[in-house]
Chain A
Amino acid sequence: MSRYYYSTQPFLAWCFNHYFYGGVHFAWVGAPFYPYRLPNPTSSSPFRIYQDLYEPWKDRDRFSRTIAQMRLDVRKGVIAGTNPRSLKRRRLFRLCDDISQVFFYPIVYRVDVDLIAPVRLELGGSGEEVGSQEFKIVDLHEGQPNEFDILFADFQVEGVPSYMLDLWNGGFTERQALELLETKGLV
């Protein structure tokens, strides 16, 4: 079994997990990064997901199916992480629906599964069906020790807006981050 598993996610998902769900991250992780000739279907290939997200992000494709899919995925996180009828849910839903595409810049989580207790590595989907190398982890933690690294967060090279870099560098409270996303991110 591979030691390192990968999960490609939009930067928006990282922001939500970091600022609004207490630094606890949800991830489907697959291995290796490019599982060519392995049983992993497209939805379990971190490389394919990266490609499918990076290209419409770079092209600013307003009609991208992958970005629409990611909006729904981040919405699912909102359902899991907030209370029904709460103002927080309503505000986060609005961000999922209307935030600028620039927030769908793909980043890659790298998880050393040797450091994760087996009970937290859930097998599901194609992992069960066709034996692809993947797990669902619902509670990856930031902090000491960090349970994952982030790869390909090349914000400066990509020339993303400075407020994205500010969010990445941290230092905001939950409320400040929400206000920043609403004032700068909504289009």
Chain B
Amino acid sequence: MNQHEFSPRYPSRPLMQFIVNNEGRYELYTEAITLLHDLVVELTNMDGKSRFTPQEINRELEAIDQRLIGAQIRAAGSSNHTSSRQKLVEVRQNIDENHQLANRIRNLNADFAAESVYNKPTSELTQNTARIFVSGMMSLYTTLRILHRQYAALKETPDN
């Protein structure tokens, strides 16, 4: 196990800019991060409790994906449609990769539970991998929050 294996997949810097430069995209992406954080946080045993069931999270993430597909279709009519559509595809891919990673961590926990004779499913291994993922998600959220605030401040400056 290495830390990189369980770290969230960060969007590239240009993709982050693309996300924070639009309220709708920022809202959707950070909502996805919030849900993915919830999917794993319980397994850390220290960073908080889950609010939603995995089924609820899958449903919400599917709804977010559908809205991003809708945005892709709408982007087809815009002047810089190729770039926007490509970036929206990357946003969807990024969310999906992180969703798969979160599920992998959950599956690790389930596998351990099946093998455990002590009936203590949250193994040290799972806790460690979950902490790597959850810490990364919080740091991604904080980065986006700061970038979004900077973007909003720039937009409100008269010279811009």
Contacts and interface: CB of A to CB of B under 8 A. Distances in A.
Given A75-B34, A129-B121, A129-B122, A69 B60 contact: no
Nearest to A40: B45
Interface of A: 26, 28, 41-44, 65, 68-69, 71-73, 75-77, 79-80, 84, 89-90, 93, 97-98, 124-126, 129-130, 136
Given A42-B46, A65-B138, A69-B47, A76 B52 contact: yes
B58 interface: no
A108 B148 CA distance: 32
A41 B48 contact: no
A69 B34 contact: no
- Pick from A76, A77, A80 the residue with the most CB of B within 10 Å: A76
A124 B45 CA distance: 12
For chain B, give the interface size range: 20 to 34
Contacts of B42: 43, 124-125
Contacts of B119: 129
Contacts of A98: 145, 149
A76 B34 contact: yes
A77 B51 CA distance: 8
B21 to A, nearest CB: 16
B23 interface: yes
Contact of B31 (A26, A28, A42, A79): A79
A101 B63 CA distance: 31
A137 to B, nearest CB: 12
Contact of A69 (B23, B52, B121, B138): B138
A43 B44 contact: yes
A97 B50 contact: no
A5 to B, nearest CB: 14
Interface string B111-145: 00000000111100000000000010010011001
Given A68-B138, A129-B120, A76 B51 contact: yes
Contacts of B63: 84
Closest 5 CB pairs of A and B: A41-B45, A42-B46, A76-B51, A28-B49, A75-B34
Contact of A68 (B50, B52, B120, B141): B141
B5 interface: no
B35 to A, nearest CB: 7
A125 to B, nearest CB: 5
Contacts of B121: 129
